[in-house]
Amino acid sequence: MHLHARNRRESAVVRMGRRAGIGLHLTSLPGDHGVGDIAASAMSFVDTLGEMGVGVWQFLPLGPTAYGDSPYQPLSAFAGNPILIGLDPLIQLGLLRTSELAGLKSLPRDFVDYGRLIPLKQALLAKAAERFSERNGDGLRTEYEAFLQRHADRWLDDYALFRALKTAHGERPWPEWHSDYARRKPAALQRARDKHREQVEGTRITQFLFDRQWRALKEYAGQRNVCLFGDMPIYIALDSSDAWANREMLQIDRGGKPSHVAGVPPDYFSEDGQLWGNPLYDWSYHKQTGFLWWVERVRHASQQAHLVRIDHFRGFESFWSVPYGEISARRGEWLAGPGDALFQSLEKALGELPIVAEDLGVITPEVEALRKRHGIPGMVVLQFAVDDPEFDYGAIEENSVCYTGTHDNDTTAGWFDGKGDDTRTVEELERTRTRTLELTGGAANTIHWDMTRLAFGSRATIAVAPMQDVLGLGSAARLNRPGSTLNNWRWRMREEELQPEVVEAVARMVRATSRIPVKGLDSAA
């Protein structure tokens, strides 16, 4: 009865009303300090979205990144990435001086140079944390104490100690640490807390500064009726504070060695499948605990954003399990995921879930049924859909999000051109171009606008175009190339690229497709 009733209810997305969206990760925002930030850069972009009439801003996961800089392999499922902290507010708080930011001025504006940026920004944040720790009795200190009460026991203290120990071990993954620390022996952990007290406190302060700025951004966006649309990877990284502190919830032993890892099996696109290597969840443990960790994770994500996309949704119905040590994903098996039990627990604890399912790839009827039973919107990506002979544009569901492409796709201009990292044959590329022009009624030189118009004109309640498509950029502006670890996550928009005529062109398209947000964000509650 409960599940059938859910099927008849509108989702949070549908109640929000038709909206246009722009996809742009925080690191890609323009600014003077080598990377976008969640303060002035982000608030300025919210203002621009308002001028466009755009009511949704989609971005990638916010967690602290490690080797490869991928936001999908964060060091914590709860912590914020410190390189996104805006520095100007720290100057206003008296935690930094303007002159101390001079070293950032030489960083490039067109891309993020992580190798140069990270040590410079880490040093500035450490300095700000040191000055903060010297303050007593003011309002900011009171805010900090309240932040610690909310988060210290849940994830913050574990993450802060994890960061200190990771640095002490030369940034190596925690299974390679001294066994006393890897296995979390209480006496060893207490010694570490005493020895690294200043660094642990510095991390806690830095996370407070991130949280403070992020809450200000969310309030600012909400006041302007701009929905913040976040992203959550289904799996966590082995080298994360979550795995280190909660290994009982994963298929790993006390030393951190997985028994099985995640991936997807061979298919039309890859004869070896994809071996992601993330440790798999012990779903029986999660069920025994009432999915408490998942409740806390989704609660945290939904407090950060108005909507949250969950990556690889199909893994909740069934997941591909590959024995650890395999060199490809060929030798795996499908195992049952938590299914309805997880979502019933989440709904009981949190109410209606403001989530969107990433349901791309080969999706079975069982996965679709699970999604629909819980009223969760799915996704349509036009770059994929145009090559599907069964694709029916008119049949796109209202309870869905329609994209021109995602962060994993080439830009629309680059995809149509086919001169980037493309594996399509000449015949396949020509077939794609022909089909795209038929669907859009457009032309090669305006294909980025034509595909955006196609997405915005669909029945989907939310339609999203990456900023690169709005700007008509080619393959050089691609953000990520799946399967490669080189030069990903680096592209940045230049402020001068977003000319008034571009803003007005988007605004006209938003009006023409009836996507001006007329309902407040509280309509989704």
CA-nearest of 353, 301, 307, 299 to 461 is: 307
Q: Report the Cα 441 to chain-centroid distance in Å.
A: 33
d(CA 478, CA 298): 29
d(CA 200, CA 64): 15
d(CA 257, CA 236): 15
The residue whose two tokens read 């502190």 is 245
CB 155 within 8 A of CB 79: yes
Residue 47, token pair as written in the block: 């203002």
Examine the residue annotation and report whether 358 is marked as an active-site residue of this protein: yes
Examine the residue annotation and report whether 211 is marked as an active-site residue of this protein: no
Collapsing DSSP to helix, strand or coil, 473 comes out as: coil
Examine the residue annotation and report whether 522 is marked as an active-site residue of this protein: no
DSSP 146-206: HHHHHHIIIIIHHHHHHHHHHHHTTT--GGGS-HHHHTT-HHHHHHHHHHTHHHHHHHHHH
Q: Which of 366, 368, 408, 422 is catalytic?
A: 408
Q: Which of 180, 311, 340, 495 is catalytic?
A: 311
- Give the chain's length: 525
Q: Please give the span between the terminal C-alpha atoms of the chain, in angstroms, as a whole number.
A: 22
Give the helix/strand (H/E) hosting 451.
helix 447-456
Give the helix/strand (H/E) hosting 403.
strand 400-403
Q: Which of 358, 359, 410, 469 is catalytic?
A: 358
Positions annotated as catalytic residues are: 311, 358, 408
